[in-house]
Amino acid sequence: MKITVSSLKEKKLSKDKITMLTAYDFAYSQIIDSCGIDIILVGDSLGMVFCGYENTLPVTLDQMIYHTKAVVNGRTNSLVVIDLPFLTYHVSIERSIENAGRAIKESGAEIVKLEGGVTMAKTIKAIVDASIPVMGHIGLTPQSIHQMGGFKVQKERDKLLSDAKAVEDAGASAIVLECIPESIAKEITDSLTIPTIGIGAGKYCDGQVLVINDLIGVFDRFTPKFVKKYTNIKANIQNAVNDYINEVKSGKFPDDQHTFK
Ligand code: KIV
């Protein structure tokens, strides 16, 4: 069944855990959609795991739209979320609505995600008022990496609670909680009517999200504590490529089966 923005609140009410994974292209989108994932997030993490940047700051809206179009082409039932990249929703409310509108119109995604709590409440409300659903993102917000002094667990309980409440009151449909202690994530989850989706926020959130490249073991520049690697695709790819190199060099490939006579 197609997951829509309204399915998210229903899932929270029925205590059906929400599953979300990132994808950045058609093939991965098709694979994870076929497994029945609820939400595919085209995260600006693509800057790090797809492009190899140090952080997410250089990612542009055009890059986000390009990758999201490919993901939308690969999905059937999952809800597709597009991240608004750094500085596309900070300059003015008008520019934020324009950029959120471009993200949705040009990519085919159904909801935008943006980082920030109390300070972003007015922007979230304006985007929602323009009929564009928003997913919030608080706690460790990678676009503020320099201000936060690195990728660190965020532990200020009162700030986190007021950020979460501000995002809900502004009209967001769901909220990502990144890198916060489990007990605070539980308090936030219990106090909100919109679903919380955790990454490094413990088991009490209404859903979980991971970066696909982390989960399948193709990104190993660094591995945060919250990442569980479910397989080691990097080793599989290396084995296949080594076999190919050896077979080409030894003349075993191409054999008759793979040759036109
Ligand atoms: O960009 C991203 O992939 C994200 C997730 C880590 C939540 O924001």
Name 78's Cβ contacts closer than 8 Å, sequence gap at least 6: 3, 29, 32, 33, 37, 38, 39, 40
Report pLDDT for 144.
97
Q: What is the pLDDT of residues 11-42, one digit of tens each?
A: 999 999 999 999 999 999 999 999 999 999 99
Cβ of 199 less than 6 Å from ligand 1 = yes
Query: Are 102 and 65 in contact, with CB atoms under 8 Å apart?
Result: yes
pLDDT for the residue 68: 99
**Model confidence at 83, in pLDDT bands (50, 70, 90)?**
very high
Residue 80: band (very low, low, confident or very high) from pLDDT cuts 50, 70, 90: very high
Backbone angles phi, psi at 102, to 5 degrees: -60, -45
- Of ligand 1's atoms, which has the minimum distance to the CA of residue 176? 7
pLDDT range class, residue 67, cuts 50, 70, 90: very high
Q: How far apart are CA 48 and CA 163, in angstroms?
A: 26
pLDDT of 112: 99
**Confidence at residue 204, expressed as pLDDT on a 0 to 100 scale:** 98
110, 115, 168, 178: the catalytic one is 178
CA distances from 123 to 94, 153, 231, 255 (A): 9, 25, 39, 61
Closest ligand 1 atom to Cα of 210: 6
Average pLDDT, the chain: 98
Compute, in angstroms, the gap from residue 209 CA to the centroid of ligand 1: 8
**Architecture in CATH for domain 5-230:** Alpha-Beta Barrel (3.20)
* Cα–Cα–Cα angle for 127, 128, 131, rounded to 5 degrees: 100
216 band by pLDDT with thresholds 50, 70 and 90: very high
- Ligand 1 binding pocket includes 138 (Cβ within 6 Å): no
Neighbours of 27 (CB within 10 A): 12
Contact indicator for 79, 40 with CB cutoff of 8 Å: yes
What does the alpha-carbon distance between residue 235 and residue 243 come to, in Å, rounded to a whole number? Answer: 12
Q: Where are the domains of the chain?
A: 5-230, 232-261
Q: Give DSSP secondary structure letters for 33-56.
A: HHTT-SEEEE-TTHHHHTS--SSS
